[in-house]
Amino acid sequence: MKITDVETFGVNLGGSNHIFVKIHTDEHLHGTGEAYRVGPDLVVEQAVHYFKDWIIGEDPTRIEYLWRLMYNGSRFPGGSVINAAISGIETALWDIKGKAHGVPVYQLIGGRCRDKVRVYRGVGGATPQQLANDARRAVQEERFTAVKMAPQPPGSEKMPWGQVLRETRRRMEAVRTAVGEDIDIGLDPHARLFEPYRAFEMAEVVKPYRPMFFEEPLRPENIEAMGELRQKVGIPIATGEMLYTKYEFRDLIAANAADILQPDLLLCGGLMEAKKIAAMAEAAYLSVAPHSPLGPYSTAVSAQFALTTPNFLILEYRVDSSGPMRDLLLQPFKLEQGYLHVPDTPGMGVELNESAFHGRGLKSWHRPFIIEPDGNIGYQ
C-alpha cells in the first residue's frame, strides 16, 4: 500500500478553527487526522502540504519511519507549527492502519486496559453564582464526575491582586458548595500568571477546596520555576499543553515540575509520541490527562490513547453530541455518566462530515490581548 495524496480541510465550525488531514492510498483506504490550531492556522495547514511531497509514495503503515522522516528531516527541531502538522499526519496514518487491519486503533497500541474513558467538561460564568450554576448543571443534569474552571474572575488583569485572590476564593467556594465534596474540580489560570509568588498565593487560596489539579499556573518557558513552585504548593500541578515531543517532556519530568502531564495529541507529535511521553511519566510515577479542547476528532484520538494507557487520569472533553460541534462528525462517541464509550469500529472510530464544511473556511483569530491598567501587554 502506498500514499497517493494528502488533503486538508481548514474548517471554521462551532465557533473555532479545525485543520483536518485526509490521506489517500492506492488501496482505496483513507485516514483522517487533525492538526492543532496553534495560530496562525493557515500556516499549519500549509505545513501539512509542505510534508506532502515527502510522504507520497511511502507505505502509510510505517508510522514510526514516516514520523522520523518528517521530524528528523526538518532543518531545526520543530516548533508548534511543525509539530502540529506532523501530529495531523501521524493521527491520519493510525486511522489508515486500523482500517487496513480491520481493528480499532487501540488494538494496535496495546489493547484496552480500561473499558471506558472518564472525561471532564469546562464550566464558566462571570459571577461565582453563574459559575456554580453551570457546574451544577454539568454534574446533576449531564452527569459529569469532574469539571474544570478558571479560578480567577473575568478582567482580573485590571484588578488589584488582593481583589483577585478574594474573588478566586469566592468562585472556588461557590463551585465546591454546588457540586459537593466528591466531584473533582480542575483549575486553569491559562498561564496568565507571571510571578511564581502570585501562583503560590492563588494555590494557597484554593487549597482548602481540594482541587483536582492547578493547570498551567505559570507559562512553560521557565520549567525550573515551575519545578520550584511544585515543591512549595500542596495541590497537584498539571501542565504540558504547550509542549511537544518526548524531548520537551523529558525536561519537564527531570525538573520535577508537574504531577500530571497534559500533552495534546494533535500538537505533541501524535499518538505514538504521546504513548512514549506517558511511558516516561509512568516511570516517574506521574499521571497523564491529555489536553483536548478542539472537539470530536481530538476526542476520538485521545480516547484511543486513554483506553491503552495505564497512568491515564482523565480527558478534557468538549460536548459534541449536540450544538454546533455536532456537524463535524457523522457520529461522535457516546457519552454516558461522565464516561466515553469507544466503539470497536476500525481506525479511529469516527468519520468527518465533509458535507458540512462547504463555505466554512479558516478564519483569522487571536486570543484576547491582555491590557494591564498601565497599558502593558500582559500574559495570556
DSSP string for residues in 12-24: EETTEEEEEEEEE
At residue 147, the pLDDT reads: 98
- Active-site residue set: 190, 291
Three-state secondary structure call for residue 215: strand
Phi, psi of 32 (to 5 degrees): -120, 140
Q: Please report the pLDDT score of residue 32 as a whole number.
A: 98
- Helices (H) and strands (E) in the chain — how many of each? 11, 13
Distance CA 140, CA 144 (A): 8
Tell me which residue of 203, 255, 263, 196 sits closest to 227, measured CA to CA. 255
Q: What is the pLDDT of residue 368?
A: 84
What CA–CA distances, in Å, run from 334 to 171, 184, 299, 350? 31, 21, 11, 11
Q: Where are the beta strands (DSSP E) in the chain?
A: 3-13, 16-25, 30-35, 117-122, 146-149, 184-187, 213-215, 237-239, 260-261, 287-288, 315-317, 334-336, 339-341
d(CA 306, CA 287): 11
Of 238, 162, 262, 242, the residue nearest 202 (C-alpha): 162
pLDDT 10s digit of each residue in the chain, 380 long?
Answer: 999 999 999 999 878 999 999 999 999 999 999 999 998 999 999 999 999 999 999 999 999 999 999 999 999 989 999 999 999 999 999 999 999 999 999 999 999 999 999 999 999 999 999 999 999 999 999 999 999 999 999 999 999 999 999 999 999 999 999 999 999 999 999 998 999 999 999 999 999 999 999 999 999 999 999 999 999 999 999 999 999 999 999 999 999 999 999 999 999 999 999 999 999 999 999 999 999 999 999 999 999 999 999 999 999 999 887 777 789 999 999 999 999 999 999 999 999 999 999 999 999 988 888 888 899 998 87
User: Which stretches of 30-75 are DSSP H helices?
Assistant: 41-55, 63-73
pLDDT of residue 39: 87
DSSP H helical ranges for 207-270: 223-232, 245-254
Eight-state DSSP code of residue 367: P
Query: Cell digits for 121?
Result: 467538561
Query: Given this model, what pLDDT does residue 289 score?
Result: 98
d(Cα 192, Cα 157) in Å, to the nearest integer? 9
β-partners of residue 334 are 341
- Look-up: residue for cell 510534508? 51
Domains of the chain: residue spans and CATH: 3-102 (3.30.390.10), 107-349 (3.20.20.120)
pLDDT value at position 298?
A: 97
- Helix 128-136 / helix 161-179 crossing angle, nearest 10 deg: 30
Per-residue pLDDT, 284: 98
How many whole angstroms separate alpha carbon 105 and alpha carbon 332?
16
Altogether, the residues listed in the chain come to a count of 380
Query: Distance (Å, rounded) from C-alpha 279 to C-alpha 249?
Result: 11
Q: Are 83 and 32 in contact (CB under 8 A)?
A: no
- Cell numbers placing 322: 449536540
What is the pLDDT at residue 262?
98
pLDDT at residue number 342: 97
DSSP letter assigned to residue 155 = T
Tell me the Ramachandran region of residue 154: left when phi exceeds 0, alpha when psi lies from -120 to 50, beta otherwise.
Answer: beta
